[in-house]
Every structure is written in structure tokens, then in C-alpha cells.
Amino acid sequence: MKMTTTIGDVQTLQTLTSHTSDVTSIDFASDCVLVTGSGDKRVRVWQWRLGEGYVEAYFSPLQGHKYGVTSVKVSPQSTMLASASIDGTTLLWNLRTGSKIHTMVQVGGETVRVCRFSPDSTLLATAGDNGQVCLWDLIRRNLVRYFQKHEGAVQSVCFSPDTSWLVTTCTFGVMKLFATSDIIDSCFTDNQAITALASIDDAHDLGVVSCDFSTCQKITGNEPFTKVYQLVTCGNDHYVKLWEITVIQSKCETSTVKISLCRIMEKHSSALTCVCFNANGLFIASSGLDKTAVIWETDTGKVMAITTGHNRYVACCAFSRDGNLLATGSNDKSIITKRDKLIRVWSIETEEEANAEIITKFQEKSYSPLDGHKYSINHVEFSPCGRMLASCSLDGTVIIWDTENGSQAKSSFVNSGSGIRVCRWSPDGTKIATAGDDERTTLWDVNNMEELCIFSGHADAINAIAFTHDSCYLITACNEGTWRLFQISDNKNCEALIICGEAHDLGVQGCDFCPTSNFITNGRSENIITNKNSYLLATGGNDSLVKLWEITIDKVNVISSGSSGSSSGDVRYKERRSFAGHGGNVTCVRFPPIQSEILGSVATDRTARIWNVYSGTCLYVLEEHESLVTACAFSQDTSLFITGALDKTVLIWKIPQQLISQNILINNLKNNRKRVADWKIDDTLRWLDEIGLSILIKKANTISLTGRHLLSLSENELTNRLDIEQDEETAEAFKTQLYWLKREDNNSSEIPIDDSEISHEFLCPITHEIMKEPVQCSDGFTYEKAAINEWFLCGKYTSPMTNKPLRDTSFTPNVILRNAIYTFLHGNRPTDDN
């Protein structure tokens, strides 16, 4: 399991000769499954069988390209395979079944020379002859961005181990470094506005042909905070070069990015074709036109082994994920695998599908209907806790009901006597806002029934209001087509912070805020702390449009840790996207309570629509109502979508499991494991919850505990800040988890590991590798978190163990198993470690 620092005799294990043209690319999956691509247009998948060696999988070869295959790459968790071709396409395959998942066409249809997965499995980068780089979103299967910053053909790209950086190289010898967050940031509307943060113009004479990041990453210092990555490149100048990429971060922004040449390694007698690190970064393999492959020691540059056996040039090379095998592919149409010890292989296969329907079985509560209003009711809404229900009416009152027995939980809020069109709860459940025909919005304290503030300024009836997810701001929208933003944390100031004068022609009918702030970079959190609050607002109007607005508020004079917010600085807004599709006035828009990826809308055209917020596409059109549709809402878990209409019906729609699962997957991948140094407060709180120390969450939030604090502060200082010095059991548990966290983050193991000592329950059923983040799924089995996420990413919503459909694709951390694995990997915490 653990590779030693010496390489024994490198022996030829097997020679594979099924391809009918040159072998252009090669890669390993887990279990030593081998994937090869060739100029014969085919991709072949090889599985190891004891006593037989490598044999082709039953579904191999994979055929879908019209011309030669130039690159093959296996996804990080070995469930998917990408293949690129001269035909200008990149195909995404299910590596377990051989079925094609998706086809990605390079912008312009130019030859694709390289494809690479991001380490978190969410992105795929492709590039080729015209110097263009395309970045694809693997969750939604669409193009995020394309840009052209090279004059030569791009033959290699690679992501840093934390997905934060993308390196691209070209045949002119130029190497460029980009921030992944800049590339996927949807605020960039001009693809060419993306700029490289660092560039080397002469990385290799005559061109760079291959590059690879090491999985090792060094972190030093606290302020400024420094990360150091290792990168290896090779070129037509016969050299292998080792580089260090140093990133120095201040609290709020990346201040310095520097690329330094560490070592030049020379052994090949001709141009090189491929270079790669092994899994733990200790060794480098390179291949070249001199018919050889060379294994180097990373730290010293020493040649550890030279492999021969091909009759013509070696076009590609790859290490197996356990470090025991090296495979090389050649222009002589053969693949040679070399070993220094035996391997074992397993394989898994499955299939699935999903659908949609209207749910009809709902039973009315015994205390329903609730009778209390004198005139028609315009709006109803549950409190965040679900124990109360607010209703407002044309009679000018708001009633709060007890949902347990149907009684009035509070005395009625009475407005000015004008009809109330809308009432909304603040997400923290402490306030209610009401608005209507008197052109004013009133903010109420739910606990003492007091009027807190009156917001005015509109010149027509107010149809819609909405709170931001942090309960700090309120939007009001009216018939004149405008919306206004107010700060509600300061009850003394009732002036609008923003007035959007032309939101919708003919009037705004509905509005709602995204329930999270993770939308700016398309669901991916920034790696650095920002000094802005950002909100996504959806509005619907009488112009038949649904619009998305981004509101950005600078933080100034931030209140001490543990406070509910901060005072407002500069306030800005802009329209981000407009959804067209409805054939009548849009009467209501709603986000799901916990998801930001989809949006529901209803209109007078008798339809309801569900939109993809990210792409702007309409996912579903729902057409069962016989009259104007006036209201809509999602259930708490996003599994149901409810619509109400003037035909006196309420329809409850069951959202297809695939859409629900995709949204759960998106939420899971948002929280995919980052380096501890990049953890924000929310990441730290999530970690405490996952390791069974949720009792520390409140205090950790109060002191704004981040990943940098976990790495830089001593154990004693951390336990002191968390106020757990006197609770010996909790303090010891925290120190042990912190010790394991630091060792895991540094990819270090306390003791050498013998495969025979590994308990079977420590191995993920998908990858057959030791789990680091074991999670239990609804099928009762435990998997590695990243592996099951990637399993779902393939579009598979079945159990990897039973092949039965999963009704629920969420999962929970298996804390007991995780602790056992970490004890096995890293041992017990030294008692004197402070």
C-alpha cells in the first residue's frame, strides 16, 4: 500500500497487442484496471485476472470516435473515463459498463489533444490544436468556459491537487497558470477576459508536450499564508523539468503567484512524449522517442530505472494508483506493463432510470379549514420551524396559526386597513413582513407583536416581498415595475439601500431570494475570504419574464465574532440573466428551501416551469391547470413542487428522483474535501459535525474558527478558545481528531502499511482502496464519500452493492468507522503534541 523510496527490479509483466495503430494514451483506474487509446479510433479497457493477466473487459473496445484517439483519462474515483480525438470531440464513458454518458464537442470542432479531470471530479478540461482550452461542468454536462491564451497547439493541461489552479502548455514552449475560480466565475461574460496569473515563455525549447501536478502540497506560514505545489513538465528538448508553484495569500486576496524551476533532469536521448507523477509524488515517469521510459526519484532527480522493450518510440506512460505498475504505450501498437510485485483486481457493474408524476394522496387535517378572515386570503406561509402558519387577507389582517391544532397562536397583526397581499417570515423566524395595497411594508416582531419599522417609497400596490437568507435585508416589489432593498438589522433606518426602477415592464408580481450565498462561482466556494455579502434575487413580472439579479454589499466595520451580521458599505446590483418561456404574466417565483440550482415559476398562461438557475434552461413545463396559475412552492427536501390556480385546484408534483439526486450531488460536491488551509468557518463547522463533536459548533462559530486556525494555533490555544480545557473527554477527542486531520491533510501515515493488515471493512466497495471519508448510504453500505459522489455523477442512482434503485441519494458520515481507519493509518496522538 505504501510505496518505498527504492525501486526494485522492474520486470515486464505483459505485452498487449490488440490495437491496430499507434497507442497514443494510457491511464490506470483503481484495481489496476488499464485504459488505452489509439490511432485506430478505439479505446480499450483491460482488467486483471489472476492466472491470465490483463484481458479486455466484456464491453471493450469502446467505439464512438470517427478519427484517432489522442487522450484517455480516468476520473479520480475510477467510475468515469474521458477520451479525446482528432474528430474534435471528447466522450465521457461509464467505466463500469462501457456505456457512453455524454459527448462534448470542442468549440470550432478543432482536434482535441488532451483531456483532464479536476481532482474533485466536477470539471473536465479539454484543449487542442487551435490553442483553445474548454472547461466542462460534469454535473450539468455543459460548457462552462472556453478561452484561447496560447498561439501554439495546447498538448497538455493539468489541475492542482486542490483544483484551485489549472496549468496549460503549448508547442511554442509557453506555460500558463490560471485560477480555476476565475475560469468558472459566471460574473465573467467575456471568455477572453480571463487572464493568466503566472506565465513562463520558455518552459521548454521547441515546445512543451506534457505536464503533471504532484499530489503533494506544502503549506507554510500563517500570515502571509503560503502554498507550494510541485509540477513536472517535459518537451521536445529532451529534458524533464521539475517546477515549484508558490502561492502567497493574504487574508482577502491572492497576492503573489510564482513559478520557479527546481531541477532539470536529463537522460533521454531524444524528444519526450509524456511525463507523470506516481500517486504519492515520490517518483516521476517519462517516455520518449528513444524507445525508453525512465523512472526518476522526485527529491533527488536520480534515475531509478530505465525500461526498454518497445520497437518504436514510446508515446505515453502511466503509474497504477497503488504504485506497483508502470504501463507504456508505443507507436509499435503495443502496451507493456511492468511491475515490482503482484496485484489483485475486482470489478463492479450496474444500471438505473427515473420518472415524474402528480401525487394525489393527501389528507386534510382534522382542524382544517381554518376560519378567521373576513375576506379572501391572498397569501399563506409556514414559519421556518413549521410550528406556525401565517395568512394574510384582503381584510387587512395577518393571522398566525398553530399548526398542531389549528388555533390562533398569536393575536392578529392589523395593518392600516388596506388589503394585505403578501406576508413573509424571516429565515430566522423572529420577524414577519407584511405589504399590500397601501404601498407600504411593515416589519413586525413575532415574539412581542410589536411594529419594528415601516418601509415606504413605492407608488403602487406591493405584490411581493422576500428576505435574504441571513435575515439581514428585505426586498419589496410592486405594480409599477420596481423593487427596493432595505436593511432590517437597523430598525431606525427605514430608507431603501437600492431602488431598481425598471425591473419589469408593467409590474413585478413575484420575488424570492436564493437560500444560499454559494452561487457566484456556480456552486464552488472561493478559496479566499471575501469582504462582500452577495445575494441572488429572482423576480417575475407582467412582461412574462423571470429575471435573476445579483446584489453585492460590501462589509464594513464587521461586528465581533458571533454577531449576526455587519454594517453595510457600498451596495450594488446587476441583472445576471433573464428567463423567457412563459406566455403570460409571471405571478410567482420560488427557490427550493435548501437548494440554489433550480427555480420554480408560474404564470397566467396556465403553466408552471422549473428552471436550471445555472444554465438558464427550462427543465420542465407543467400544464395540468385549467386556469391562471397564481402560486407555487417547493417542499423542504425539494422532492415536491406545489402549484395553485384560479381553477380552485392545488396540484402537488413529484420532482423526478434524478433531479433531486443531482441537486443533492451538487450540494455534496460544493462541500467536497478541500485542503484544511482553505476551510472557511462553514467548512470547520461541518467538520466538527462529521466527527461527532457538534457540541463545539456554536463556540467555533462564535470565534470564527477557520482551517488556518486549526493548522497554525497550538492544541492548547485552540482548546482554550473553544473553552473545553475543563472537559477532558471532549478536549482529548478534539485533539485526537485534530492530530489525524493534520496528518491526513499532509498525506502522511504514521506507520508503514502492509496490505494483509488492512481490514476488509476499511476498503471502499467502489474503489477497493482505504476510505478517508466513509459515509453510509440509504442501501446500508458504507462508501468513500468522493467515490459515491462520482458514482452518482455518472447518472447512476442505484446501489453499487445491490444494483437496486436508491430512493434517497443522501448519506451520513460513518464516524465510528472513520475513527477506526484513522487510528490504523495514523496511530494515536502523541501525548506531548501541543
CATH number for position 579: 2.130.10.10
- The model's pLDDT over 318-344, given as tens digits with 9 standing for 90+, comes to 998 887 888 898 887 776 666 532 221
Q: How far apart are CA 152 and CA 146, in angstroms?
A: 16
| pLDDT the model gives residue 245 | 93
What contacts 694, CB < 8 A, 6 or more positions away?
A: 688
If we measure between CA atoms, which residue out of 283, 244, 288 comes closest to residue 266?
A: 288
The answer on pLDDT for 557 being more than 80 is no
Highest-confidence segment of 57-71, 131-145, 444-458, 697-711: 57-71
Residue 242 falls inside a structural domain: no
- The model's pLDDT over 775-815, given as tens digits with 9 standing for 90+, comes to 998 888 999 888 888 888 777 778 888 888 876 677 888 98
Residue 825 belongs to domain with CATH number: 3.30.40.10
Residue 724 falls inside a structural domain: yes
| DSSP string over 667-697 | HHHHT----GGG--HHHHHHHHHHTT-GGGH
User: How many structural domains does the chain have?
Assistant: 5
Q: Which domain holds residue 801?
A: 756-833
Give the three-class secondary structure for 585: coil
**Average of per-residue pLDDT across 109-129:** 93
Residue 223 falls inside a structural domain: no
Strand segments, DSSP code E, in 405-544 are 413-414, 420-425, 431-436, 441-445, 451-455, 462-467, 473-478, 483-487, 496-500, 508-513, 532-541
Under the banding of pLDDT at 50, 70 and 90, the label for residue 354 is: very low
Among 630, 651, 672, the domain-final residue is: 672
| pLDDT the model gives residue 408 | 83
One domain for residues 287 and 155? yes
Under the banding of pLDDT at 50, 70 and 90, the label for residue 382 is: confident
If we measure between CA atoms, which residue out of 656, 664, 776, 663 comes closest to residue 353?
A: 656
The answer on pLDDT for 485 being more than 90 is yes
Q: How far apart are CA 307 and CA 294, in angstroms?
A: 6
One domain for residues 107 and 128? yes
**Average of per-residue pLDDT across 42-53:** 87
Q: How far apart are the first and last CA of the chain?
A: 30
Q: Please give the DSSP secondary-structure letter assigned to residue 798.
A: B
| pLDDT the model gives residue 517 | 62
Distances in Å between the alpha carbon of 525 and those of 103, 212, 596, 659? Answer: 27, 24, 13, 22
Q: How far apart are CA 822 and CA 759, in angstroms?
A: 12
Among 318, 338, 358, the domain-final residue is: 338
Under the banding of pLDDT at 50, 70 and 90, the label for residue 563 is: very low
Cβ pair 767, 32 in contact under 8 A: no
**Average of per-residue pLDDT across 91-120:** 91
One domain for residues 586 and 445? no
pTM value is 0.63
What is the percentage of the chain residues whose pLDDT exceeds 70? 83
Among 320, 338, 356, the domain-final residue is: 338
Q: How far apart are CA 169 and CA 154, in angstroms?
A: 6
One domain for residues 739 and 773? no
One domain for residues 180 and 275? yes
One domain for residues 134 and 40? yes
One domain for residues 574 and 703? no
One domain for residues 767 and 733? no
One domain for residues 664 and 680? no
The answer on pLDDT for 474 being more than 60 is yes
Residue 366 falls inside a structural domain: yes
One domain for residues 480 and 353? yes
Rounded to the nearest integer, the mean pLDDT of the chain is: 82
Three-point CA angle 163, 167, 170, nearest 5°: 155
Residue 249 falls inside a structural domain: no
Residue 273 falls inside a structural domain: yes
Distances in Å between the alpha carbon of 572 and those of 485, 539, 551? Answer: 11, 17, 6
Give the three-class secondary structure for 714: coil
Higher pLDDT residue, 188 or 797? 797
| pLDDT the model gives residue 340 | 38
Residue 319 falls inside a structural domain: yes
Residue 241 falls inside a structural domain: no
- Per-residue burial over 581-612, b if 16 or more Cβ lie within 10 Å, else e, is bbeebbbbbbbbeebbbbbbbbbbbbbbbbbb
One domain for residues 587 and 485? no
How many CA atoms does the CB half-sphere of 655 hold within 13 Å?
A: 28
Higher pLDDT residue, 408 or 166? 166
One domain for residues 462 and 490? yes
Strand segments, DSSP code E, in 30-68 are 34-38, 42-49, 53-56, 62-63
